[in-house]
Structure 1
Amino acid sequence: MRSIIAFFLFIFLIHSVQAAPLLQATISRESQVIGNDGVTHTSVFQERMYRDQNNVWLERVLPKHHQHSTDAKNKTSHKHLDLSETAQHYFLDNKKSTRLNLVLPEDKTVIHLQTVDIEMLGLTNCWTCVFSIFDSQSVKKMKITQQGNGYTWYESQNAKNKIKIKWAKLQPDQNPHPTSEYYATMDSIWKIHLERICRLWGLNLVKE
């Protein structure tokens, strides 16, 4: 299923050298699922995103007291892959195809995923979905419900789903992105919010 190699981890693994500025954001995700018993289960977590033209790096924000399980010799042991502990490195290869590696910083290990692995883990290989958090092409098909103060509200609804997106209008040299999203289905609610976003200049991403 996977090929594992050891490597040195600096800021994050990059496939190609880029001179473009690095974008950094903190993403808050909230989901609510209503069970058959009528009980609503809420899940809330944060991710850090680092992005340039050809790379997107996502990592879960874990509590400071979070620790790996250890064996009798006080060495870290992993009985299974925990996605919450892995960083996701999306990048475009030389053919502009989307590739995904999982990175375990503590183990200094990279896992190269194939398409079948990505689907099995419930992840995505949609570049625009990851790069802009929401597929920008899908936004163009949605109805504009409100505009002002540099933002545009989009909405789409059918018998099963309702989607609301607050989209930011940025400068010409920047990429558009949603500042908040709201998804609703018959039994679930998802909310995504960009709490902080900034651009870091002067950081050159070094090829492995």
Structure 2
Amino acid sequence: MTAAAKLQALLAATVLAAVPLAAGAAGDAQAPDQNLRIQHHVLSIGKDGVQRESRYADRMFRRVGTVWIERELPAALRADHEHEARDAKVHIGHAHADNTAAPLWLRRDASGKVEVGMVLRAQRKLIEVDAANYGNVGYGGSWAPAYWLVDPAVLPRMKSLGAAGPGVQRYEQQQGESTVRIDWDVAGRYARRIEQRNAHGTSLNTMTAMPIAAPKTLPWQAVEAYERGDYSDLLD
């Protein structure tokens, strides 16, 4: 499970009875377009005293009913992924990392049906992912956290701490020994920051979102011409 998925699972546990505010396409329309760089930082100190730390970043482009999520990769790793894709080596048995690092194109129609596509650029393929394999490609299975970075339904159930800055509202939730804080961009309609830490200072999980420039061409516009495939194609 990725750091983002773990954070969202913790938030979901606090709002089991909540009704999502973004239940349909009309809810999506309340959110302005966003172009974001999302940084993840996970730190833990084990019982052996060893500190373990990981960092990674994604780029996210949001339009009504559409989300594109793409991992930032160093040039050497990006070239390696492209080489393996050209050689038709991308499959489940090869490495889960190859799949979670591939761009995801999420689409939701007016009825609420979600389609999840994994993009293999070097092969010019769009792989449609079934619900049973969402976790294998890094999608948590819930539209709201992908679209808003946190389900807005969690916010009314959290303690409001007031303004965290211009246009930003801060919320806090205690759950056992863990504390979750969310900085919500009121106008932009997304979570600028989500932080989860334990009371002992041995666990920290943060997500920080910052606006970036919009691309000249939205990434899914190029993908529309790609060959379609099913996730089962990768199981060979």
TM-score by length of 1: 0.74
120 and 88 in structure 1: CA distance in 2 versus 1, 3 angstrom threshold: closer
Counterpart of 1:26? 37
Please give the per-residue CA displacement for 1:29-84, whole angstroms capped at 9, x wherever unaligned.
Answer: 1111333422121111111111111110000011122222658xx94633344134
Q: Any idea what SS the aligned residue of 2:146 has?
A: helix
Partner of 2:8: none
Amino acid of the structure 2 residue aligned with 1:183: Q
Letter of the 1:77 counterpart: K
- SS state of the match for residue 106, structure 1? coil
Query: How far apart are 1:202 and its partner, in Å?
Result: 9.5
Match of 1:42 among 53, 60, 63: 53
- Matched letter for residue 208 of structure 2: H
CA distance in 2, matches of 1:123, 1:176: 20
Structure 1 partner of 2:229: none
**Which of 148, 153, 165 in structure 2 is aligned with 1:132?**
148
Contact 1:98 1:125 in 2 (8 A): no
Kindly provide the CA deviation profile for residues 93-145 of structure 1, in whole angstroms up to 9, marking residues without a partner as x.
35312221111212222221111111455631211110011111111211011
1:165 deviates by 0.9
C-alpha distance in structure 1 between counterparts of 2:33 and 2:166, whole Å: 25
1:177 corresponds in structure 2 to: 190
For 1:157-176, what aligned pairs fall within 5 Å after superposition? 157-170=174-187, 175-176=188-189
* Corresponding position: 1:150 with 2:167: yes
Q: Relative contact order (alpha carbons < 8 A, sep ≥ 6): 1 or 2 greater?
A: 1
* Aligned partners of 2:100 and 2:138 also within 8 Å: no
Which residue of the other structure, out of 101, 111, 115, is the alignment partner of 1:99? 115
Hey, what's the Cα distance between the residues in 2 that align with 1:119 and 1:94? 24
Alignment of 1:196 with 2:208, yes or no, is: no
Question: Cα distance 1:160–1:21, how it changes in 2: closer, same or farther (>3 A)?
Answer: closer
Distance in 2 of aligned mates of 1:201 and 1:104: 21
Unaligned residue ranges in structure 2 (runs of 5+) = 1-28, 226-236
| Distance across 2 between alignment mates of 1:193 and 1:92 | 25
Which stretch of structure 1 is more off in the superposition, 41-50 or 112-121? Answer: 112-121
Say if 2:97 is the partner of 1:85.
no
User: How many residues are paired up?
Assistant: 184
Closer, same or farther: CA 100–28 of 1 in aligned 2, 3 Å: same
**Partner of residue 68 from structure 1, selected from 80, 103, 112:** 80
Could you say which residue in structure 1 is the equivalent of 2:25?
none
Greater mean alpha carbon deviation, residues 34-43 or residues 126-135: 34-43
Contact 1:182 1:190 in 2 (8 A): yes
Partner residue, 1:56: 67
Matching residue's letter, 2:68: W
SS in 2 for 1:62: coil
CA distance in structure 2 between the partners assigned to 1:27 and 1:122 by the alignment: 15
Deviates more, 1:110-119 or 1:79-88: 79-88
Q: How far apart in 2 are the matches of 1:88 and 1:61?
A: 13
Greater share of helix: 2
Q: Measure, in 2, the Cα distance between the counterparts of 1:87 and 1:43.
A: 20
The structure carrying a bigger strand percent of its residues is 1
- Equivalent-residue separation in structure 2 for 1:92 and 1:38 (angstroms): 45
Letter of the aligned partner of 1:107 in structure 2? Q
Task: Provide the aligned C-alpha RMSD in A.
Answer: 3.1
